Amino acid sequence: MGHDKLRKFAENETFTCLLQPDASLVLDKSGDPSEGLRLNDHPIKGRWNGEMFHNDHPIVLELGCGKGEYTIDLSRRFPECNYIGVDIKGARLWRGAKTATEQALPNVAFLRTRIEFIEAFFGPGEVSSIWLTFSDPQLKSENSRLTSPLFLERYRKFLKPGGVIHLKTDSRFLHEYSKAVALENGLTILASTTDLYNSGGVFPPETASNLGAELFEVQTFYERMFLSQGYKITYLAFTIDHEGPYRHPSDFDSDYWRSIEGPRRFSHAPSSSQR
């Protein structure tokens, strides 16, 4: 491990805005492995506003936040909300946590954990909305996609009724898959475009009036990179209110959408959580 990474990991321990629980605290290994993932609740679950932010403002998650630039930018623009960036890579989270600390941003926190463990950290109705920004499309592993029925079930356990999932991605595959999941399960699609920055009037009026800086002006490193290369950015927003188990999409042509992804899908992939 390089000296720079060791330095960042050591400094991470000093940031009060960064929570880095050991996986053993939440991973329950006492049950039958065939029953799937079993988790213990972390002590922060249901207590983020009281113990981290000391207010009752809405909580917004960014899952797969990388260096946290999206989370940081949102927090500056919207002080009336609390923002939590989640990623597994400590060296990346260092940048966001250091910025939040140096600038004394009161409404920012970061959580280092696998997104598969996310329900161990948030209680029912504790989160108002979720941003998925340039997530790995997981072309060959449906259950690893952050908009799969498996993950939607996890989000439902802590997202408030009417809470929104925002998906911003350059992957047409992931966009179409996520839309197919929403349609299959009768979820309310609030907005959908395959070319965000040239979307014109594709959004319903009631949706367009609520689309502001967080959608067009706040950009991740990967978004800026893909825009500079001429690639289109897609956007999808939907609620996950649904009774009963989530179903896998029955009419999604994965082979077709996989075939049009292009070689860049494999050339700029930094992690399983964010590209």
Rounded CA separation 147/163 (Å): 14
Cα–Cα–Cα angle for 48, 136, 252, nearest 5°?
Answer: 110
Rg (the chain; Cα; Å): 18
End-to-end CA separation in angstroms for the chain? 22
- Is residue 138 within 8 Å of residue 61, measured between CB atoms? no
Q: Which amino acid is at 163?
A: G
- Is residue 233 within 8 Å of residue 167, measured between CB atoms? no
Give the residue among 171, 110, 183, 109 at the shortest CA–CA distance from 145. 171
- Beta strand 82-87 with 127-133 is unpaired
- Both tokens of 205, joined, read 């009026």
| Partner residues linked to 159 by β-bridges | 127
Rounded CA separation 187/222 (Å): 28
- Is residue 53 within 8 Å of residue 19, measured between CB atoms? no
**Does residue 4 have an active-site annotation?**
no
Torsion of CA 121, 147, 133, 112, to 10 degrees: 30
Rounded CA separation 235/164 (Å): 13
**Three-state DSSP state, 168:** strand
Catalytic residue among 136, 195, 241, 255: 136
Q: Which residues participate in catalysis according to the annotation?
A: 136
